[in-house]
């Protein structure tokens, strides 16, 4: 039974990492297209101190909310962790590769693939969960914010952590609405929240890269 369970976990892990790898490669390809370069250029030009200083505070708030939620047994569950995965599948960490060179090599390759397309992934989420929010009721804004967090549970992170990500969603929603009220443009507001989202994600990736480097160094 143990061997069978191990085999299933290994098969699922390889399948998930393969799927994520294909998605990341696709993201890199799109980032090199005309449309992809236009989005990335827009985001890079906008990055400023107003996007940088809130990011660690938002991440701290997400962690503060996630910590007690993950103490609740039912909210600790995530299908990725159930098969030995660690954190977000897009980071490529798994107990299956623990103790091997793949423990740091797979996450390192995934990070290299993720970074070029980071603004594109953020832009897609902002268009889905924030664009048009100026016309929504307060209840719908709250619902969309929670949906933003919970959609991450579908890709495998624990339910409690997904709920906590709604805090980040609330920050991106506030950024979008503030920009819309200032400019009156959905496009401008979406790019503003995309920029905040990209900087936030980049900070998380920076933390992951440091962890990967420490793992590779044997710390």
Contact between residue 203 and residue 59 where contact means Cβ atoms under 8 Å apart: yes
Which segment of 6-15, 104-113, 165-174 scores lowest on mean pLDDT?
Answer: 6-15
Can you tell me which residue has the tokens 């980032």? 31
- For the chain, give the mean pLDDT: 89
User: What is the DSSP annotation of 150-168?
Assistant: HHHHHTTS-HHHHHHHHHH
CB neighbours of residue 182 within 10 Å = 11
pLDDT at 39 over 60: yes
Tokens of 170: 């609330």
Residue ranges of the domains in the chain? Answer: 2-216
pLDDT tens string 155-169: 889 999 999 999 999
Cite the DSSP H helix spans in the chain. Answer: 2-31, 34-46, 49-52, 54-69, 79-82, 102-129, 138-154, 159-183, 186-216
Residues in the chain: 219
Tokens of 45: 């030009």
pLDDT at 125 over 80: yes
Q: Is 60 exposed, middle or buried (0-12, 13-18, 19+ CB in 10 A)?
A: exposed
Rounded to whole angstroms, the Cα distance separating 23 from 88 reads 14
Q: List the one residue out of 57, 46, 38 whose CA is nearest residue 192.
A: 46
pLDDT tens string 51-108: 999 999 999 999 999 999 999 989 999 888 877 777 677 776 777 667 777 777 888 8
């Amino acid at each position: 039974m143990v061997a069978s369970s191990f085999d299933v976990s290994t098969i699922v892990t390889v399948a998930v990492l393969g799927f994520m790898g294909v998605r990341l490669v696709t993201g890199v390809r799109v980032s090199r297209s005309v449309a992809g370069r236009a989005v990335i250029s827009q985001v890079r030009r906008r990055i400023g101190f107003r996007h940088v200083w809130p990011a660690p505070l938002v991440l701290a708030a997400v962690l503060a909310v996630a910590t007690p939620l993950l103490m609740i047994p039912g909210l600790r569950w995530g299908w990725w962790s159930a098969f030995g995965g660690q954190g977000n599948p897009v980071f490529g960490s798994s107990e299956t590769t623990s103790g091997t060179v793949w423990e740091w090599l797979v996450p390192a390759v995934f990070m290299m693939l993720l970074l070029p397309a980071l603004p594109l992934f953020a832009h897609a989420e902002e268009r889905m969960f924030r664009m048009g929010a100026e016309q929504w009721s307060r209840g719908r804004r709250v619902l969309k914010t929670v949906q933003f967090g919970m959609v991450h549970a579908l890709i495998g992170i624990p339910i409690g952590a997904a709920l906590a990500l709604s805090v980040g969603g609330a920050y991106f929603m506030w950024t979008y609405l503030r920009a819309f009220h200032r400019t009156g443009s959905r496009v401008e507001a979406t790019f503003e929240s995309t920029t905040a989202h990209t900087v936030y994600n980049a900070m998380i990736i920076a933390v992951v890269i440091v962890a990967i480097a420490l793992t590779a160094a044997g710390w």
